[in-house]
Amino acid sequence: MSLISLVDVRKDFGIRTLFEGLSLHVGERERLGLIGPNGAGKSTLLRVLAGLEPPGAGERRVLPQARIVLVSQEPEMDPQRTVLEQVFAESGEKMQLLRRYTEVSDALAHAHACGDDDTALLSELGQLNGRMDQSQAWDLEQQIREVLQRLGISDTQRQVGDLSGGYRKRLALAAALVADPDVLLLDEPTNHLDADCIQWLQGYLQRFRGSLVLITHDRYVLDQVTNRIVEVDRGEARSYSGNYAYFLARKAEEEAAEAASEAKLRSVLRRELEWLKRGPKARSTKQKARIQRIEAMQETPKRQAKGQLSLATNQRRLGKRAIEADDLAIWATEEARSSGAQPLLKAFSYDFSPEDRVGIIGPNGSGKSTLLDLIAGRRQGHSGRLELGSTVKLAYFDQHSHQVLEDTDAAGRQRKVIDVVKEAASSVELEGSTLSASQLLERFLFPPAQQHQPVSKLSGGERRRLHLCRLLIEAPNVLLLDEPTNDLDVQTLTVLEDFLEDFRGCVVVVSHDRYFLDRTVDRLFCFENGQLQRFEGNYSSYLERQSAASASPTPPAAPAATTNASANASATANKSPAAAKTRRRSFKETRELEQLDTQLPQWEQRRGELEALLAAGGSDYAALEALSAELSDLLERIARGEERWLELSELAG
């Protein structure tokens, strides 16, 4: 059963069509991931699903009793409310039940005092009790405080009007999670969250009982949470049953098939045109049919080619010295330093090499962006020394790039997209050729028609991509990236990661995006109590070390009398795994392993059948939804079965 359906929907803004003839159905307990390039209309599509944006054409159908909550990138709130009041107000049915329960209880007490008939009130109170038990509304305040704490919000009495944009986004997310709606629509929920919060949110969404439609650049969240991917691109919405990894595999197969089909068509058309040019003397019926076939092939509509983002740039040579830090210390403010408060950073010394790939991690507010501001020269350290090499050409891609891209120039005229790049350079030497500003913008997926549009018309992600183009045209050799994944689409992130692999210079990244860190850095500095702890490896390796450390805490020191016994126990514990006795499988576990050996191939066969049926398509949406749901359940069953098979197979038989 579909909770929300869009049928043949069209949406455009003036001359720009976002999507046309789009049909999308959100079923019960579905987990949809919306992906596509910036500006394709993903956020607009969420607003249409939520009913906040009317479709230009087509129809939106909603199950009447369905409760729908949207968390947008810029949520609207009452600035006069406190944090706690705001979440209470947005708690949906739970808050309504609590209010009604209070009203009925008060009315019942009044009826008792007056001797009035209270039969109807008692009946309603009983119904409210049941509904509140079902929705867990009794402990609403406890739920709210727990979710706020998990999302890094501790001061529940602050006024909403005093909060930053990132803080407000987290507050809106907390309210949506507490409301527990039937359909949850999330637009980039991981922005402004640190890694621990993202990990918790991922687990929460995996357990969420309702339907979910999610836009996110965090590919780990996308892969772990979704069971259907909808790609919005060039006015179309194409659906793939499965998670993000499955989508990538299918997408690669589709693009290979399309390329082979296009190559075959060109080959046939070339041969037919050569025949036509020879000018056969006799025009038989067969030859006329052949000519008509050639004309039909020439007129065959081709799907618009997908733009390929290119981040290759001209680069300056970087000498042996990049960035040298010696005994650096930073306080949040000069007043904090004078008052004896703890510094954000103390005693930091490190020489960044010309080819360093360094990630800076830590909780929100720990000082990560402050450190990048210090390196970029936007603020001064309170003690210590920081020097840049004489050949350094630094580019800083910070979180506030929208401030660089002002909508108007000094004279008050609207800035166009191409003006932003021309202000840096009218042309650039790139890969042995000279590119104009317009040609460079095309490489960054800004077609000529869009280059002369006002900057004010760009989406948040497009503005970030334009700012990136502006920075890279200046040929830097040291890159400072502060949360670069915010508002960038997955395609741009993938190309940016490839670019950083080939970049001949120093890269320093502050990010909470685990996938991005895994691909781009080989050394981490983690903020811990005002100090940067160094770790060699990427983020996944860091998490493994943290998990191992928490799983095996250091035992307390043994008394002197038991030193020998402790030493013997330690020696036994440190024996190699081969020397330790391996647990044998029980009879029940052996039977379970045998069953999995039989079932897993059968499940894989059924998976192939379902994928073939879905690929064939059809107009019966109910049947397609049933197939999609079956495939989703089957994929989960296969994953659990494979994990259990590995666990059992490692035991001795």
pLDDT of residue 13: 74
pTM of the model: 0.65
The pLDDT tens digits of the residues spanning 530-571 come to: 888 899 888 888 888 887 777 665 544 444 433 333 333 343
The pLDDT tens digits of the residues spanning 187-227 come to: 999 988 888 889 899 999 999 989 999 999 888 999 999 99
Q: Which secondary structure element, helix H or strand E, spans residue 211, and what is its range?
A: strand 211-215
pLDDT of residue 617: 67
Given a cut of 90, whether residue 114 has pLDDT beyond it is no
The contacts of residue 469 (CB under 8 Å, 6+ apart) are: 421, 440, 441, 444, 446
The pLDDT tens digits of the residues spanning 229-269 come to: 999 887 778 889 888 888 888 887 877 777 777 676 667 66
Range of lowest pLDDT (95-99, 199-203, 288-292): 288-292
- Residue of 302 and 121 predicted with greater confidence: 121
Say how far apart CA 163 and CA 83 lie, in whole Å: 9
Angle between helix axes 490-502 and 460-472 (nearest 10 degrees) is 20
Report helix, strand or coil for 321. Answer: coil
pLDDT range class, residue 587, cuts 50, 70, 90: low
- Strand pairing category for 211-215 and 183-187: parallel
- Residue of 135 and 359 predicted with greater confidence: 359
Report helix, strand or coil for 297. Answer: helix
Given a cut of 60, whether residue 282 has pLDDT beyond it is no
pLDDT of residue 570: 40
Q: How is residue 634 written in tokens? A: 């089957």
- As beta bridge partners, residue 214 has 33, 186
Say how far apart CA 115 and CA 286 lie, in whole Å: 99
Residue type, 599: Q
CB neighbours of residue 117 within 10 Å: 8
pLDDT, average across residues 582-611: 76
pLDDT range class, residue 137, cuts 50, 70, 90: confident
- Strand pairing category for 383-388 and 323-330: antiparallel
48 in Cβ contact with 6 (< 8 Å): yes
460 in Cβ contact with 402 (< 8 Å): yes
Distances (CA, A) of 466 to 462, 481, 488, 520: 6, 15, 11, 21
Say how far apart CA 224 and CA 202 lie, in whole Å: 8
pLDDT range class, residue 498, cuts 50, 70, 90: confident
pLDDT of residue 71: 93
Radius of gyration (C-alpha) of the chain in whole angstroms: 30
Range of lowest pLDDT (27-31, 103-107, 173-177): 103-107
* Mean pLDDT rounded to a whole number for the chain: 80
The pLDDT tens digits of the residues spanning 359-408 come to: 999 888 888 888 999 999 888 888 889 999 889 899 899 887 655 677 77
